[in-house]
Amino acid sequence: MQKDFEKISEYWKEMYSRQVKEYRPFEISEEFKRFASIFAPGDSYLYIVNLHHFGLEYVSDSVERFLGKKARDINLQDLLQTVIA
């Protein structure tokens, strides 16, 4: 899994990230969180991936019910592992 993730990440950085001239981080507002909870009701979680550097900009607290980790401790590999496991 680690090698596959690294291959994907390196390819993405080579083909996309180097072409981005200016990066602006996504700012999460309370209003955004409120709307997100409306569109992801029940047993679900929400995350926002920064496609510039493959980092997570936001992970909802409800992710803990699925992965057993606090949102602040989750990384993209943790989320990808749930898909391929």
CA distance 40 to 36: 6
On the question of pLDDT at 53 being above 60, the answer is yes
Q: What's the pLDDT score for residue 42?
A: 78
CA gap 36, 83 in Å, rounded: 21
Percentage of the chain lying above the pLDDT 70 cut: 95
**The length of the chain, given as a count of residues:** 85
Domain count, the chain: 1
* Nearest CA-CA partner of 63 in 36, 35, 23: 36
- Which band of pLDDT confidence, cut at 50, 70 and 90, is reported for residue 85? low
Is the pLDDT at 72 greater than 70? The verdict is yes
With the C-alpha atoms ordered 59, 14, 83, 2, is the resulting torsion angle positive or negative?
A: negative
Q: How confident is the model at residue 1 (pLDDT cuts 50, 70, 90)?
A: low
Place 44 in a pLDDT band, splitting at 50, 70 and 90: confident
Full domain range(s) for residue 66? 2-84
Beta bridge partners of 47: 59
Tens of pLDDT, residue by residue over 5-23, are 778 777 877 777 777 777 7
